[in-house]
């Protein structure tokens, strides 16, 4: 039986940030960090909102953290009991990651006995704008207790404050009273309303209280030994982006929830989760650790999936806060998309529709650099706006921003968009996404690479120079193999879709199909793609970029020993790795994963063996690519620890939380997606060949079998693996 509960026993204040990520709950519209109810801004609580961004002054533009409607603490006999101010007798946090329910139980000792606070909360999958909470208070004596709960408007922001003209009001529209906070964003003036109401069958006194930017209910009660007082709480969130009357909508939702009661709304919420797991749960036989880790990873992907809209993507840090500016990276297409394609094709379409709908922003970015076509944002916000700064890292020694070239030179992002759209089409068979705008997106991606090509006078080939590949420790290199191969893929993809679009009449108006088809085909044919080396000691290894093999060939430990500061950035002009062969993350290995059928197993193995010892794995994206390639060379046991590293990126923690002096902590949905890809495409060996679902298992020794469902070409299949044997059955047959 799968384990769907994680627990944290004991209390350490220093763990607040990490546990906030690990115990996150969400529904794709909002994400609620797994912090304790009594925490204020200095302990990083956040109710993070999807798809709305704001910039204050010269600070980074980032998503909105809402007023904290979960804020709560206890008073017993007029003394405050909350963490970390009062040391507990015992403390435990839990997360039911099958149903997205966070829990805590804390016991404090008072002069007259012990008092216990238990809480539950969920971000409703049934009503995206609703948060449900329930408190149980008990004591082993007749305690005079106050529960203070409401909305904390002192919001934790990295580069704020983003909310202006905060208005705190009370209303009697709901029994027990409604608390209402109205505000709007600084930059665009988007209205935001957070409302709260409570309900209890116990005999309580309810009073509102304003204090220090907090609007609170004060619930007074006297406990009886052996009995628990139960209080239910509802929080509703609406914005002007989705409603003309956000305040009315929020109040109406509170009334419905209040009338239904906690158990009814919790049941509806859990039923939604069960529907998701029906299509996505992965059963791993013989290895409970792997099974829990992969399903916990999928929990996080489900929690941040934008099912409430038809055009939105997933930020690199999910909905765990404002780090990475809440921006969308290549993480979505290259690491998360496969999970949704195979388990929830409608959401996969939403993710790719976001890229199609932000095409104009990508065209504008390309033009700003003097290129044609579409140069997609490295850190994409709404409209395709690139939030990436020219100074993305802070020097730990001088405190000054360091010039980086992520925005300018990571041109492989455009190929990720084209790849994602066509990956969706390949698996789903849904060509409707290639309407006029979809076809145009592929064509504009190809036009970008066409305009980027250089032809040396003395050579017949085309090259792509001055770029950054997936390995960000080496900037402004020439002919990064991954970038060139993805550009070739995009050019060839444009040739294919132009041919199909000619028939369907979806080409852009005035577009000369024959001319551009020829241009793209010639460019793809002549574009230089590095080949396996025949250098002694490097036979079969593909050089990551021009001159890579001439860099200092040293060890990770040696380079790590050169650091003068633990938060020092390894790349850039002066980074300790920039003049060595030590790389940040899978680069050539990522390329070979995508195009493994073009190489023999000896070449794949040679590159895995060469690059892995030289990879720092400074990104959570890296381990999954090494795991998948290990499966493809018949080494699933070698893949296994890399699989666990991806699957436990948030469950175990320990990843990088700083880039220089910039905090980059948060959840790791790309690693979660990579864990799924390793399990399904690596260990189970799932692929699409000529439009048909194929399975070729390559299980590590600890795994004896697997079961999961998978969509392919509009049909859902159940895949059952027992050792090396696999059975594929259409669901319902």
pLDDT of residue 658: 62
- pLDDT digit string, tens, across residues 646-687: 999 999 876 666 665 666 789 999 999 999 999 999 999 999
pLDDT of residue 211: 81
Helix-helix angle 481-504:436-452, to 10 degrees? 140
Cα distance between residue 719 and residue 723, in whole Å: 13
Strand extents, DSSP E, 201-329: 205-211, 214-222, 228-239, 283-285
- pLDDT digit string, tens, across residues 64-89: 999 999 999 999 999 999 999 999 99
Cα distance between residue 589 and residue 605, in whole Å: 10
For residue 211, what are the β-bridge partners? 214
- pLDDT digit string, tens, across residues 573-616: 889 999 999 999 999 999 999 999 999 999 999 999 999 999 99
Identify the helix (H) or strand (E) that includes residue 358.
none
pLDDT band at residue 469 under the 50/70/90 scheme: very high
Q: How far is CA 443 from CA 367, 480, 502, 663, in A?
A: 15, 22, 13, 38
Mean pLDDT of the chain: 95
Percent of the chain with pLDDT over 70: 97
pLDDT of residue 172: 83
- pLDDT digit string, tens, across residues 486-531: 999 999 999 999 998 876 678 888 889 999 999 999 999 999 999 9
Residue 204, SS3? coil
DSSP secondary structure letters along 647-686: HTTTTT-----EETTEE--S--HHHHHHHHHIIIIIIS-E
pLDDT at 436 over 90: no
pLDDT of residue 168: 94
pLDDT at 202 over 90: no
pLDDT band at residue 204 under the 50/70/90 scheme: low
- pLDDT digit string, tens, across residues 683-721: 999 999 988 999 999 999 999 999 999 999 999 999 999
Helix-helix angle 636-647:288-303, to 10 degrees? 40
Residue from 472, 475, 543, 616 carrying the catalytic annotation:
472
Name the nearest CA neighbour of 396 among 570, 557, 262, 644: 570
Confirm whether 472 is a catalytic residue: yes
Q: What is the pTM of this model?
A: 0.96
Half-sphere exposure of 457 (CA within 13 A, CB side): 0
pLDDT of residue 724: 84
Domain spans, the chain: 5-279
pLDDT of residue 733: 64
Domain 5-279 coded CATH 2.60.120.10: no
Which class for 33: exposed (0-12), middle (13-18), buried (19 or more C-beta within 10 A)? buried
Which class for 385: exposed (0-12), middle (13-18), buried (19 or more C-beta within 10 A)? middle
Phi/psi at 152 (5° precision): -95, 115
Percent of the chain with pLDDT over 90: 88
Tell me the longest C-alpha to C-alpha distance in the chain: 91
pLDDT of residue 539: 97
- pLDDT digit string, tens, across residues 355-392: 999 999 999 999 999 999 999 999 999 999 999 999 98
Count of Cβ atoms closer than 10 Å to residue 348 Cβ: 26
Contacts of 422 (CB under 8 A, 6+ apart): 442, 493
């Amino acid at each position: 039986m799968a384990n769907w509960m994680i627990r944290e026993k004991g209390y350490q204040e220093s763990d607040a940030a990490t546990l906030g990520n690990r115990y996150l709950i969400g529904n794709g519209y909002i994400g609620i960090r797994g912090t304790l109810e009594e925490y204020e801004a200095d302990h990083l609580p956040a109710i993070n909102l999807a798809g709305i961004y704001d910039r204050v002054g010269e600070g980074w533009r980032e998503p909105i953290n809402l007023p904290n409607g979960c804020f709560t603490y206890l008073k017993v006999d007029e003394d405050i009991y909350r963490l970390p101010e009062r040391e507990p007798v015992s403390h435990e946090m839990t997360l039911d990651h099958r149903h997205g329910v966070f829990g805590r139980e804390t016991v404090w000792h008072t002069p007259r006995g012990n008092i216990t606070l238990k809480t539950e909360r969920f971000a409703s999958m049934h009503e995206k704008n609703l948060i449900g909470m329930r408190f149980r208070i008990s004591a082993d004596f007749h305690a005079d207790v106050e529960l203070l709960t409401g909305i904390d408007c002192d919001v934790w922001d990295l580069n704020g404050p983003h909310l202006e003209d905060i208005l705190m009001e009370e209303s009697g529209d709901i029994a027990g009273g409604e608390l209402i906070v109205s505000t709007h964003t600084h930059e665009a003036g988007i209205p935001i309303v957070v409302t709260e109401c409570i309900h209890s069958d116990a005999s309580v006194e309810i009073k509102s209280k304003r204090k220090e930017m907090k609007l609170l209910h004060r619930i007074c009660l006297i406990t009886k030994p052996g009995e628990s007082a139960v209080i239910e709480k509802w929080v509703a969130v609406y914005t002007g982006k989705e409603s003309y009357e956000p305040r009315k909508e929020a109040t109406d939702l509170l009334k419905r929830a209040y009338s239904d009661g906690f158990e009814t709304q919790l049941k509806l919420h859990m039923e939604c989760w069960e529907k998701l797991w029906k299509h996505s749960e992965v059963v791993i036989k013989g290895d409970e650790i792997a099974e829990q880790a992969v399903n916990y990873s999928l929990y996080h992907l489900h929690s941040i999936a934008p099912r409430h809209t038809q055009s939105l993507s997933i930020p690199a840090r999910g909905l765990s806060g404002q780090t990475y500016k809440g921006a969308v990276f290549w993480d979505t297409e290259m690491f998360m998309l496969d999970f949704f394609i195979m388990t929830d094709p409608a959401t996969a379409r939403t993710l790719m529709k976001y890229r199609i709908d932000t095409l104009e922003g990508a065209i504008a970015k390309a033009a700003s650099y003097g290129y044609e076509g579409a140069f997609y944002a490295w850190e994409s916000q709404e409209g395709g706006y690139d939030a990436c700064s020219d100074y993305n890292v802070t020097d730990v020694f001088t405190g000054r921003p360091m010039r980086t070239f992520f925005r300018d030179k990571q041109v492989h992002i455009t190929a990720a968009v084209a790849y994602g759209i066509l990956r969706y089409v390949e698996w789903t068979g849904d060509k409707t996404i290639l309407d006029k705008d979809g076809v145009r997106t592929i064509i504009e991606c190809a036009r970008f690479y066409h305009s980027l090509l250089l032809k040396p006078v003395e050579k017949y080939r085309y090259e792509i120079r001055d770029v950054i590949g997936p390995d960000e420790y080496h900037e402004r290199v020439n002919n990064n193999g991954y970038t060139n191969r993805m550009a070739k893929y995009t050019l060839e993809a444009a040739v294919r879709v132009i041919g199909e679009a000619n028939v369907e009449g979806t080409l852009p108006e005035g577009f000369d199909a024959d001319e551009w088809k020829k241009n793209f085909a010639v460019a793809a044919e002549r574009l230089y793609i590095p080949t396996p080396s025949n250098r002694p000691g490097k036979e079969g290894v593909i050089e990551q970029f021009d001159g890579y093999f001439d860099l200092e060939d040293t060890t990770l430990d040696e380079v790590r020993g050169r650091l003068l500061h633990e938060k020092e950035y390894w790349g850039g002009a002066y980074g300790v790795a920039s003049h060595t062969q030590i790389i940040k993350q899978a680069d050539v290995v990522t390329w070979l994963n995508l195009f493994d059928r073009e190489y023999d197993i000896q070449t794949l193995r040679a590159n895995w063996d060469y690059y892995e010892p030289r990879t720092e794995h400074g990104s959570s994206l890296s381990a999954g690519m090494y795991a998948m390639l290990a499966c493809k060379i018949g080494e699933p046991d070698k893949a296994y620890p890399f699989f666990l590293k991806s699957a436990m990126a948030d469950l175990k923690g320990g990843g990088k939380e700083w880039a220089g002096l910039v905090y980059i902590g948060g959840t790791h949905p790309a690693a979660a997606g990579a864990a799924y890809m390793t399990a399904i495409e690596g260990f189970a060996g799932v692929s699409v060949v000529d439009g048909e679902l194929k399975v070729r298992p390559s299980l590590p020794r600890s795994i004896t079998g697997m079961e999961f469902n998978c969509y392919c070409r509009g049909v859902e299949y159940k895949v059952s693996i027992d050792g090396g044997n696999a059975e594929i059955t259409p669901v319902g047959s």
